[in-house]
Structure 1
C-alpha cells in the first residue's frame, strides 16, 4: 500500500511540474499548417459517350466509383409518380441477373464492399466502394448490377410496401408537411418539382415500367463516372475502357424541366394540425437560377438575412424578440429550374402573427437600410471561410467538378464565386434586395393548431385552409345494391335484442382483458373504458407494460396522458378511435334511425346462415346477424393498413353475450386481418352509470 501511495504522489508531482512548465496561450508555438494541394483530374471519354473523371488518392487502399446518370423522376407520368425512385431502389435490392439479392449481399459483406443505386428528381446514381485489392473482381459485378438488374417481383412488392408505409407517415412531422406544401404553392400542385407519390400511383407502376426507364437511362450518353482511390491512372483507364465499352450509347436524355409560370401574389394558407402547440411558418416566393449574374450578391444578401447565428433573423426574431425556437431562410438559385426564396420560423401558437410581422419587417429593412461595412465584412468572412470546406478533400473536389459538368457550368465556377463574393459592396445588398425580394407579395403558409392560433392570420387576407388528407386507394370490390327496407328491419331486430329495456343516455363502463401477441409470447393488457354514445365521448385507462396510459376522446379532440405528461392524439389515431365508435354494435343500435342499412341476403358462415346487412357510412361495413337471437355474430370492413401499404379486410367475431342493466355485450371479441388473428378481447364486467 505504501508503494502505491508513493507512486501516486510521484505522478501528481510530475503532473504539477508539467503544468507549471506549460507555456501561456500566447507563447504556444503551433506547427505550420500543411497546404492542401489541388489534385489533378484525368478526364477521358469512351466512344459510347461515358465520360470518366479520375483522381488518385494513395492515402488508403480503397477505390470509390460513382456514376451520375442523366435521368430523374421528372420523367414519371402523372399516374405513375414514384416510378423513378422505385426503380433506383429495386435495382439494388433485387440484385442482378448473375448476382441476385442474397448472393450479391453475401459477396459484398465478405469483402467489406458496398454498392448502391438511386434516382432523384433530376439525376440518378450508382456507386461502388471497395478495397483496392478487390476492385478487379467486383467491377464486373457492379457492371452487371447497372446493366442487368433483376427487378424481381418480390422485391418490387416489398419496395412498394415500404413506399406506401412512408406515405402513411408523411403527415406526422410538422416541418415535412410545411416544406412539401410550400413547394406546391410556389411551383403548382401538378408540377413535376412539387408532386409526390400516392398509394394509387405506386400501385400503377409495373415491372415493365421500371425496366423501360432503366434501359432508357443507364446508357453511355447519360453516364458520367468519377473514380477516386489507390490506383495508377493509366492502368485504371485501361480497366475502365475494357469494362464499360460494351455499354450501349443509347440516346441522351434532355433535362427539360417544364417552365414554372409563377405569378407574384400574396396568399395566406393554413394547415390545421391539432397535436402540436407551436406554429411552423414558411413565407416567400419564387427564387432564381444559378446562372444569374447577381448570384454572388444574392448569396451574401442571404447570409446577412438568415445565414446563421449572426444573421438578422436570428439576432432580431430569436434573440432580441424571443419569438422563435428556430428561425431560418434562404434565397434558392436552381440549376435546372428556379429555386425558392423562403424565410421560416417555429414559434408559439399565440405569437404566430407577431413572428410573421418580424420576418417581413427584416426583409423590408434589408431593402430600405444599407448594411454597414462592418456587418458586410463579417458576413463575407464567415461565408468565405465556410466555402473553404467545399474543397477540403480530393473527394469533394472530384464531386464538385462532376456536379459542375453535369449542370453545364464552367469548371472555374467555384473560383469565380469566391472572387465575386469578395467584390460585393454594401450598396449591392440593398440593390438586389430591392430587385429580387417582394415582401408585399409573399405566400404565407402556417402549419399549427387552430385552437392556439385563433384568427391571427386573417390580418393578412383570406385564409385558405389546405386539406392534407392522404387519399386512400380505391377499393376494387364490387358493391352490390341491397334492400333498404329489409336492412332497416334487421337493424331494428338487432337493436331490440341488444337493448331489451330500450335506449339509454348514461355512460357505459366495462373492464376487459386485451390479449395480444408479443415477441415474448402472449401478453394480457387490462383496459377500463367508459363510453357515452350520445356525446361520442370515450375514456380508456390502459395498464400497459410501460405504465398506465389514459386516452380521452371528446368534442372531436383526443389526448393521451401518461406519467404527468399529456400529448394530443395524431389525426390518424383520432380518426381510428372515432371509426371504432361508429362501428360499435351498441352505437348502431342507439342510432339505427339515422343509419342507411341494406339487406344483402342470407349468407352461410361456418355452416350456419346469417342475415347479411351493409351499413352505408363514410367507411361502409357489413354485419352478419344471427336470425335466431338477432344478435350480431360478425362485423367486417375494409381499411387501410399503413404497415402493409394496402387495404385489408378486418373481421370481428362476437360471442359469449351477457346482459347487465338492460344492455347486452359480447364478452369475447376476436379480431382478424385478412384471415390472420390480430386481437382477442375478453370483457370481465360491464355496467351503466346511475
Structure 2
C-alpha cells in the first residue's frame, strides 16, 4: 500500500505546485460601487408574524424561509432538546402521514428542512401554493410519534459516538465551553448521557416554547407576486398563536485576565488544533464593525492573508491558517485565529499566531493589503446581490438587529472608508493577544513538553489542562509502562504470525495487486508489482490511460508522469527503495523501534510503535493486524502528515491482507479497495528497467 501513498504524495506535489498564486500584483483601487438593493415588501399580521417578500422573476423558483427570532436560552440538563425537535419536524402532520408527506415533497422536486431557528423550503413556482400548505401542516400541526422520536434519538446518539474521536469536534467544543461557560447556550454541548434522558414530552414542551407567531418572520423570495403571497400566508398562518416574548438574562462571558494556554488531551490526534480566542461586545450597530471586518480579512481572510502567508507559505506548518470574527448581537461576539498543524511544530505555530495578532495591533497595515481586502469585499458582496434570499436576509437583519435602513446599501461605502489607522485602532481594542485563551488540542505525548516551555514577550505562558469536554484535569502522565512481555519486538513477531507466519511470508517472492479508488469523481486504478529483491513497479491509470508510472530497481529508480520522465535521486530515491518491500515488518530492526504504549484508535485498542522519527504504526492488541500508519513527508519543501488506515482484513492464498485502505493527506481522503492480489507469479525482470 506504500506505493499508493507515494503516488498520492506526487499528486499533492503537482497540485501544490500549480496552485501557487502570484500575490505580488495588487488590484487597482477604485471607488465603492453604488449598491441598489430593493426593499422587500412587508406586512405584519395581527398575530405578530412578519412577512417579507422579494420578487425576482428570473427563474420559476420560490424559496420560503421561516425564521424565529428567539432569545438565547441555555437548555442546561435538557441540552439537545431543540436539536432533536428540529429532527422531528418535517415528518408529516396530524392529517398527513410521514410517508405520504415525504413522497409528495419528492414528487414535486421540492425541499423542506428544519433547524433550531426555523425552516426552509424551496420549490418550483407551480408547486408554491401546495408547498406553502405543507409547510403550514408540518409547522402548526406536527405529529410527534414515540417511534420517530426513538429513531431520531438513536441517530443522535450514533452521531455522537461516531464523532467521539474527532479532534476538530473536541477542539471546537472546548473552545466554546471555555469562552462562554457551561451555562451559556454557546458553551453547552450535547452528550450521550443527556440525550438518553430526553423524553417525547420534552420535545413537545420545546415545540410550544419555540413555535409561535410572535417575533417570527417569513421571508418569501423568487418568482412570486406580493399580493398572492399575502393571501396564502393569511390563509394558513394568520391564526397561528402569538406569544409574548420572554427575556432570559445570560451570564456575561469575559476574556481571560492574561493570555493562557489551554491544552486539550486527544491521544489519537495526528495534527494539533490551535485557536487564539477573544470575546468582544461588538455588533453590526457598532461603528467599529467595518474596520474589524477589514482587520480580520487582513489577518486571516484567505490565501493572501497574513496567517496563511506565514504558517503555510513561509513556514510550511499547515495546509491553511485563518481567522474569523463571528458577530453576535444578543451576546458577546467571538474572534478566532487558528490552524491545524503538524504535532512537531505546535509550539512554534502557536507563537507565530500570537506574533501576527500582535503585529496587527502594533503596526498599520499596508495600503496594498487594504486595497486587496476592499476589492475582495466589492466582488463578493456584489455577487451576493444576485441571491434574492440573501437580500431578504438583509432585511431580516435590519429588523431584528435594529440596523440603519441603509446598512447594506452603504456596506461597500463603509468598507471603502476604512483606513489603516482604523484597522490598527480596532485591532488594539478587540484583538487582545495579551488577554487571549489559546486552546491547543492534540496528542500530549508529542506536544506538551514544548507547549509548556512557550515564552512570549519574555514571559512563559501559563498552561491549564483539560479533557475533551473542557473539564479541568491534572497534567497527563506519559510514562509508558508496558505490560509484562510487551515490547516492539513482540508486537512485530505477533503481527507476522497473525498475517500468515514468518516462514510463509518469507516464501513469497513477488506480489501483484490491483486497487481501485476515486478522487474528485474520477476513478483510479492502481496496479503494482513488488519483489523481495527491492524491485517495484506501480502504474496509476485513469479511464484506461496510464497517468503515472514508478519504477524501483534495487539501487535506482524513476517516475513518469504524463509522459515526462524524472530520475529519482537523493532522499526520495532512498525512501522508495526502503519501502520496496512485500512485507516491511520482515526486515524491521526491532532494536531501533520504540514502543509508545496502548492507545484507543477509532474505538479499537491498539499498540503504537515508532519506527522512525517521522513514522508510527498501530497494531490491534488482540488480532495484531496493522490498523494504521502515520507519517510526515516532505512535498515541495512543505511538510505534510499522511494517515493510512488498513481495514477489512481478509485471507488471500493463506495470507491476511487489508482489503480496504483509506489514505488521508490533509483535507483529502481516498478509499482504495483491493480488487486482486496474487503471489509468486512469474515476473519478467525487464519491467523494472
User: Cα–Cα, structure 1 residues 178 and 149, in superposed 2: closer, same or farther, change >3 Å?
Assistant: same
User: Cα–Cα, structure 1 residues 40 and 467, in superposed 2: closer, same or farther, change >3 Å?
Assistant: closer
Q: TM-score, with normalisation over the residues of structure 1? A: 0.62
Q: Structure 2 stretches of 5 or more lacking a match?
A: 1-33, 455-460, 472-483, 502-513, 517-581, 586-593, 600-605, 625-689
Q: Which has the larger radius of gyration?
A: 1
Q: 2:252 aligns with which of 248, 252, 259?
A: 259
* Residue number in structure 2 paired with 1:151: 144
Q: Distance in 2 between matches of 1:56 and 1:255?
A: 37
Superposed CA offset, 1:385-420 (max 9, x none): 332233222222112212332333333222343222
User: Cα–Cα, structure 1 residues 62 and 36, in superposed 2: closer, same or farther, change >3 Å?
Assistant: farther
User: Cα–Cα, structure 1 residues 189 and 105, in superposed 2: closer, same or farther, change >3 Å?
Assistant: same
Counterpart check, 1:453 vs 2:452: no
- Asked if structure 1 preserves the Cα contact closer than 8 Å seen for 2:296 and 2:324, the reply is yes
- Asked if structure 1 preserves the Cα contact closer than 8 Å seen for 2:266 and 2:444, the reply is yes
**Deviation for aligned residue 1:144:** 1.4
- Asked if structure 1 preserves the Cα contact closer than 8 Å seen for 2:264 and 2:440, the reply is yes
* Residue number in structure 2 paired with 1:436: 430
Q: Distance in 2 between matches of 1:143 and 1:505?
A: 65
- Asked if structure 2 preserves the Cα contact closer than 8 Å seen for 1:330 and 1:343, the reply is yes
- Asked if structure 1 preserves the Cα contact closer than 8 Å seen for 2:281 and 2:333, the reply is yes
User: Cα–Cα, structure 1 residues 568 and 176, in superposed 2: closer, same or farther, change >3 Å?
Assistant: farther
- Asked if structure 1 preserves the Cα contact closer than 8 Å seen for 2:598 and 2:607, the reply is no
* Residue number in structure 1 paired with 2:641: none
Equivalent positions of 1:555-594 (< 5 A) are: 555-557=597-599, 558=606
* Residue number in structure 1 paired with 2:159: 166
**Deviation for aligned residue 1:443:** 1.6
Q: Distance in 1 between matches of 2:433 and 2:367?
A: 25
Counterpart of 2:114 in 1: which secondary structure? strand
Q: Distance in 2 between matches of 1:51 and 1:244?
A: 11
Counterpart check, 1:240 vs 2:282: no
User: Cα–Cα, structure 1 residues 546 and 272, in superposed 2: closer, same or farther, change >3 Å?
Assistant: farther
Counterpart of 1:343 in 2: which secondary structure? strand
Equivalent positions of 1:93-172 (< 5 A) are: 94-119=91-116, 124-172=117-165
Superposed CA offset, 1:34-63 (max 9, x none): x99744521001111111011222223332
Counterpart check, 1:400 vs 2:399: no
- Asked if structure 2 preserves the Cα contact closer than 8 Å seen for 1:335 and 1:407, the reply is yes
Q: Distance in 1 between matches of 2:253 and 2:181?
A: 8
* Residue number in structure 2 paired with 1:213: 206
**Deviation for aligned residue 1:86:** 0.6
Equivalent positions of 1:177-256 (< 5 A) are: 177-254=170-247
**Deviation for aligned residue 1:264:** 3.0
Superposed CA offset, 1:302-342 (max 9, x none): 12211212212222332223333321112333222112222
Q: Distance in 1 between matches of 2:486 and 2:65?
A: 69
* Residue number in structure 1 paired with 2:369: 375
User: Cα–Cα, structure 1 residues 101 and 407, in superposed 2: closer, same or farther, change >3 Å?
Assistant: farther
Q: Distance in 1 between matches of 2:485 and 2:131?
A: 74
Counterpart of 1:251 in 2: which secondary structure? coil
* Residue number in structure 1 paired with 2:317: 323
- Asked if structure 2 preserves the Cα contact closer than 8 Å seen for 1:79 and 1:204, the reply is no
Superposed CA offset, 1:600-637 (max 9, x none): xxxxxxxxxxxxxxxxxxxxxxxxxxxxxxxxxxxxxx
* Residue number in structure 2 paired with 1:360: 354
Equivalent positions of 1:520-559 (< 5 A) are: 555-557=597-599, 558=606
Q: Structure 1 stretches of 5 or more lacking a match?
A: 1-34, 472-502, 513-525, 531-544, 579-690
- Asked if structure 1 preserves the Cα contact closer than 8 Å seen for 2:79 and 2:190, the reply is yes
Counterpart of 1:269 in 2: which secondary structure? strand
User: Cα–Cα, structure 1 residues 262 and 451, in superposed 2: closer, same or farther, change >3 Å?
Assistant: closer
**Deviation for aligned residue 1:225:** 0.3
User: Cα–Cα, structure 1 residues 368 and 52, in superposed 2: closer, same or farther, change >3 Å?
Assistant: same
Q: Distance in 1 between matches of 2:45 and 2:426?
A: 44
Counterpart of 1:150 in 2: which secondary structure? coil
* Residue number in structure 2 paired with 1:82: 80
User: Cα–Cα, structure 1 residues 206 and 308, in superposed 2: closer, same or farther, change >3 Å?
Assistant: same
User: Cα–Cα, structure 1 residues 204 and 134, in superposed 2: closer, same or farther, change >3 Å?
Assistant: same
- Asked if structure 1 preserves the Cα contact closer than 8 Å seen for 2:596 and 2:608, the reply is no
User: Cα–Cα, structure 1 residues 206 and 415, in superposed 2: closer, same or farther, change >3 Å?
Assistant: same
Counterpart of 1:408 in 2: which secondary structure? coil
- Asked if structure 1 preserves the Cα contact closer than 8 Å seen for 2:37 and 2:409, the reply is no
User: Cα–Cα, structure 1 residues 139 and 333, in superposed 2: closer, same or farther, change >3 Å?
Assistant: closer
Q: Distance in 2 between matches of 1:165 and 1:430?
A: 47
- Asked if structure 2 preserves the Cα contact closer than 8 Å seen for 1:509 and 1:528, the reply is no
Q: Distance in 1 between matches of 2:301 and 2:485?
A: 63
Superposed CA offset, 1:517-561 (max 9, x none): xxxxxxxxx96699xxxxxxxxxxxxxx99999999973243589
* Residue number in structure 2 paired with 1:307: 301
Counterpart of 1:252 in 2: which secondary structure? coil
Choose 274-283 or 303-312, whichever is displaced more: 274-283
**Deviation for aligned residue 1:345:** 2.2
* Residue number in structure 2 paired with 1:10: none
User: Cα–Cα, structure 1 residues 320 and 555, in superposed 2: closer, same or farther, change >3 Å?
Assistant: closer
Counterpart of 1:414 in 2: which secondary structure? coil
Q: Distance in 1 between matches of 2:336 and 2:244?
A: 37
Superposed CA offset, 1:469-526 (max 9, x none): 799xxxxxxxxxxxxxxxxxxxxxxxxxxxxxxx9999899999xxxxxxxxxxxxx9
* Residue number in structure 2 paired with 1:335: 329
Superposed CA offset, 1:560-592 (max 9, x none): 89xx9987669xx88x999xxxxxxxxxxxxxx
Counterpart of 2:409 in 1: which secondary structure? helix
Counterpart check, 1:288 vs 2:287: no
**Deviation for aligned residue 1:132:** 2.5
Q: Distance in 2 between matches of 1:470 and 1:454?
A: 17
- Asked if structure 1 preserves the Cα contact closer than 8 Å seen for 2:255 and 2:436, the reply is no
Aligned length: 477
User: Cα–Cα, structure 1 residues 262 and 469, in superposed 2: closer, same or farther, change >3 Å?
Assistant: closer
* Residue number in structure 1 paired with 2:466: 466
- Asked if structure 1 preserves the Cα contact closer than 8 Å seen for 2:256 and 2:436, the reply is no
* Residue number in structure 1 paired with 2:44: 45
* Residue number in structure 2 paired with 1:391: 385
User: Cα–Cα, structure 1 residues 221 and 283, in superposed 2: closer, same or farther, change >3 Å?
Assistant: same
* Residue number in structure 1 paired with 2:57: 58
Cα-Cα RMSD: 3.8
- Asked if structure 2 preserves the Cα contact closer than 8 Å seen for 1:219 and 1:251, the reply is no
